């Protein structure tokens, strides 16, 4: 028998912090059949092919199981860099045909998104602007972002993940499904300028509480996606959509450890995720 001495522990203070107690704020939306999602993607559906009692083993045990059909841009989700192209090219100038291998995006697909355990910053724009929720179609300006940063006393360090709250997430499970999607009403969000401001701060990823991250003018649908172009195509910054940012805002948690662990679907353009904000217990 070989002894297997433990390596000198490199995890002392991190583990200590966790042992001392952490609060985990769930930033993901529950996946339910019929929830609001973009009509451009296969909707989330779920059924149980086998329920308890359908087939019981002789020992009295029984297992139930599931069948799921969905797109990847359903519920709270992250966009892979393979999701959006401009003029035939993906991030890094890669030609779209060159990213494919056997019919899937071997390059820049969801499986290439490294799990994130990074400093996270919430920019609670409506709170900074003194409103409960931004107006539909409102474009969050650079001035809004800077004001929010200043009022919060927050700082953004290169490599951070920045979450931009609009308050629009309040519509997700209010029953006003069409309102959350906002095809007719519009949706608030950053535009190209705001996206560039985030890029200039060197962020690794960004997220929002809306379905498309973007500012969608009323009636415009998802026809153009300038922030996606700036973030995904030009700068390789990941986008997380349909987040639940209400608890963070209510408790004024503006700095946290952000955790995101996308499912590594080989060659896909995104993944549903359940992002977390982790802080020490008070």
> Considering only residues 205-244, where is the footprint of its own copies by CB under 8 A?
223-225, 228-229
Query: If residue 195 lies in a helix (H) or strand (E), which one and from where to where?
Result: helix 192-200
Question: Using CB atoms within 10 A of its CB, is residue 86 exposed (0-12), middle (13-18) or buried (19+)?
Answer: middle
The single residue among 22, 142, 199, 220 that binds its own copies, judged by CB under 8 A, is: 22
Using CB under 8 A as the binding rule, the residues of this chain from 88 to 147 that contact its own copies are: 88, 90, 96-97, 99-100, 102-105, 111, 114-115, 117-119, 124, 127-130, 147
175 binds its own copies (CB under 8 A): no
- Whose Cβ is closer to its own copies: residue 22's or residue 199's? 22
Using CB under 8 A as the binding rule, the residues of this chain from 23 to 42 that contact its own copies are: 23-24, 26, 28-34, 39-42
Q: How far is the CB of 200 from its own copies (least distance, A)?
A: 20
User: Whose CA is closest to 237, among 165, 160, 123, 146?
Assistant: 160
The three-class DSSP label of residue 49 is strand
CB-based contacts of 156, cutoff 8 Å, min separation 6:
121, 149, 162, 201, 202, 203
* Tokens encoding 160: 């951070």
Residues in contact with its own copies, counted by CB under 8 A, come to a total of 129
* Tokens encoding 270: 């995104």
Q: How far is the CB of 2 from its own copies (least distance, A)?
A: 4
- Whose Cβ is closer to its own copies: residue 62's or residue 174's? 62
- Whose Cβ is closer to its own copies: residue 43's or residue 191's? 43
Phi/psi region, residue 112 (left: phi>0; alpha: psi -120 to 50; beta: rest), is alpha
The single residue among 168, 213, 238, 265 that binds its own copies, judged by CB under 8 A, is: 265
* Tokens encoding 86: 């401009």
- Whose Cβ is closer to its own copies: residue 55's or residue 176's? 55
């Amino acid at each position: 028998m070989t002894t297997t001495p433990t390596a000198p522990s490199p995890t002392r203070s991190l583990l200590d912090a966790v042992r001392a107690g952490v609060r985990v704020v769930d930033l993901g939306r529950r996946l339910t059949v019929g929830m609001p999602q973009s009509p451009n993607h296969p909707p989330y559906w779920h059924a149980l092919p086998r329920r308890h009692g359908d087939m019981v083993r002789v020992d009295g045990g029984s297992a139930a199981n599931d069948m799921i059909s969905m797109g990847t841009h359903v519920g709270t989700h992250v966009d892979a860099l393979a999701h959006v192209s401009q003029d035939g090219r993906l991030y890094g100038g890669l030609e779209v045909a060159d990213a494919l291998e056997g019919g899937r995006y071997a390059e820049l697909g969801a499986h290439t998104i490294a799990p994130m355990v990074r400093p996270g910053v919430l920019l609670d724009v409506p709170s900074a602007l003194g409103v409960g929720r931004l107006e539909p179609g409102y474009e969050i300006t650079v001035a809004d972002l800077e004001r929010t940063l200043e009022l919060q006393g927050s700082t953004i360090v290169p490599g951070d993940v920045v979450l931009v709250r609009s308050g629009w997430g309040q519509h997700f499970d209010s029953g006003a499904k069409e309102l959350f999607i906002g095809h007719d009403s519009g949706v608030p969000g950053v535009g190209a300028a705001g996206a560039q401001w985030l890029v200039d701060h060197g962020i690794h990823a960004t997220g929002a509480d809306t379905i498309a991250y973007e500012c969608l003018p009323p009636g415009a649908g998802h026809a153009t996606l300038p922030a996606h172009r700036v973030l995904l195509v030009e700068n390789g910054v990941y986008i997380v959509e349909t987040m639940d940012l209400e608890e963070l805002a209510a408790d004024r948690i503006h700095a946290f450890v952000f955790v995101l662990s996308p499912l590594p679907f080989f060659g896909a353009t995104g993944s549903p995720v359940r992002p977390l904000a982790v802080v020490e217990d008070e």
